[in-house]
Structures are given as structure tokens and as C-alpha cells.
Amino acid sequence: MDSIYFHPNRFSHSNVLVTGAAQGIGKTVALRLALEGANLALVDRDASVHEYAAELQQSCTGKIFSVTADLENWEGAQTMVDETLSQLNSIDIAINAVGGTIWAKPFERYSDEEIIREIDRSLFTTLWSVRAELPGMIEQQKGTIINVSSVATAGINRVPYAAAKGGVNALTSALAREAASHGIRVVATAPGGTLAPARDIPRGPVPQSDEERAWYQDIVEQTLDSSLMGRYGTLEEQAAAITFLASKEASYITGSVLPVAGGDQG
């Protein structure tokens, strides 16, 4: 892979909120923003986000602080925004990166409780977050919201997750129309399969049976087959697309969902 080039000071004087910042795409986005001068509110439900914020603050010039909140409910989203505004006074950019498949199996094998949990994890975390972020942006008549969706909207063995991310796409498109008159852009990326270190906070149970492992392997094979490049992406490639959409370079882009999946359009 070629080196990832940073843009020093691209986000200096910008107040940026990043959810899901303790690991995965959200954590990598936070690192890039910190290196490019942003003031950051890092949000996660896991307390490790506090350690990560302190680590970034040691080497970066912007103000960086952290919030623990469960974004699967409205109260958590409102707490996140209230604490961010108390520290940064405004939210110029909000990056909503919480979500992820919990189970991998054919749709008929999901229980009703599992379906609800998938929707709560990968749709309501974004829906509540955006609802909390929006009023302050309307008041200041500017802002950018970037949602993280997925090309798994056309994937197998995770229909509830696909439905949730389809909802994120619809939220992005519909809200962009409402928010444009307030000077607010609303966009999304749709990551494909992405290489990442083992998760400190598992999304769900590890496949145990041969059948469960086969269902997960079907997802891996479909991901590779759907990518024109025939590979998984990297966290840095996902962060590069998100930070581009967050930047002034993307000032004429709204309502769009950008696939970042090696040619897989989802």
C-alpha cells in the first residue's frame, strides 16, 4: 500500500465530534483529524475512549476530550452533544461511525430479539446522534454530518444489518434535502470489507459451530468477489474518504453516499 498523506492544519479551528472513537474506523478517523489540527470530542460507550483521547492530546495541538455514552438511546445521544457543547461551544462536523454486524447468519435464523438489537446498533445509533447534533448546526446555520453506512446493503447473511444501513442511506439522503437551506451538508461513506486489528470490544459472539463459521466465510468470499480490486480495504483508506467529505474540499457534495469498497457499489 502507498503511504497515506496527511494535510496539516486542514481542520484547525474546526470542532469535530466522532462517535465510535475507541476502535475501528472511528478511532482511525479520530487520529487523522487530530493530526490535521481539529478540536475533538471522542465518543464511545467503552471507557477506553478516555485513554485514547489522553494519548492523542499528548502529541496534537487541538483540544481533545472524551465522552462515554450509549448511543442506542436518545438520552445517550443528548448527553453526548450536551457535553461536547460544554467543552467546544459548537459542533462544526459530526462523524457518526457507530455500528456493525452482531451476528452473521441467514435471515430466517435470527430471533426477533436479535433483529431488534441489530437495528438498534446500526440504525438508531446514527438516527439518535443526528437528531441530537442537528439543532446546534441549525442555530449556527452551518455544519457537516458524515454518517458511516456499508455496502453490506447488498450483502448476504446479515439482512437486519443491511436493513439498518439502508436506513442510514435514506436518512442521509432525506436529511440533506431538509438541512441544505440551513447551510448543513449531510453525506455518508459506505465501507466495504476492512482489515482491522482484533476488536477490544467484540461486536457479537465469535462463530462457534462449523455452520456458523461457514456462514461467516460466505460473507468473506462475497466481499472479495464483489470488490473489483479483489481485496479488503484498510482503516486508513476508510478514514481518508471520511475526512475528505468532512473537509472544505467537499463543499459542493451533499446527499451522497460514497462507496469505499474497491468498486463494490453495494
Residue 159 maps to which CATH number? Answer: 3.40.50.720
The domain total for the chain is 1
Question: Is 232 marked active-site?
Answer: no
pLDDT digits (tens, 9 = 90+) for 184-196: 999 999 999 999 8
Candidates 5, 52, 110, 161; catalytic one? 161
Q: Say if 108 falls within a structural domain.
A: yes
Q: How far, in Å, are 54, 150, 183, 188, 234 from residue 238 at the CA level?
A: 23, 11, 25, 11, 7
pLDDT digits (tens, 9 = 90+) for 212-223: 999 999 999 999
> Which domain does 223 fall in, by range?
15-260
1 pLDDT higher than 50: no
For the chain, what is the mean pLDDT? Answer: 95
Among 2-16, 205-219, 221-235, 248-262, which is the least confidently predicted range?
Answer: 2-16
Q: Say if 77 falls within a structural domain.
A: yes
User: Nearest-CA neighbor of 115 among 73, 51, 158?
Assistant: 158
pLDDT digits (tens, 9 = 90+) for 21-65: 999 999 999 999 999 999 999 999 999 999 999 999 998 999 999
Q: Say if 26 falls within a structural domain.
A: yes
Helix (H) or strand (E) holding 129: helix 125-140
User: Nearest-CA neighbor of 158 among 99, 225, 96?
Assistant: 99
Q: Say if 8 falls within a structural domain.
A: no
Q: Say if 2 falls within a structural domain.
A: no
Q: Say if 215 falls within a structural domain.
A: yes
Q: How far, in Å, are 18, 66, 80, 96, 244 from residue 12 at the CA level?
A: 16, 18, 22, 20, 14
Give me the pLDDT at residue 203, please: 65
Q: Say if 80 falls within a structural domain.
A: yes
Q: Say if 7 falls within a structural domain.
A: no
Q: Half-sphere exposure of 266 toward its Cβ, with a 13 Å CA cutoff?
A: 20
DSSP E strand boundaries for the chain: 15-19, 39-44, 64-68, 93-96, 143-148, 184-191, 194-195, 233-234, 257-260
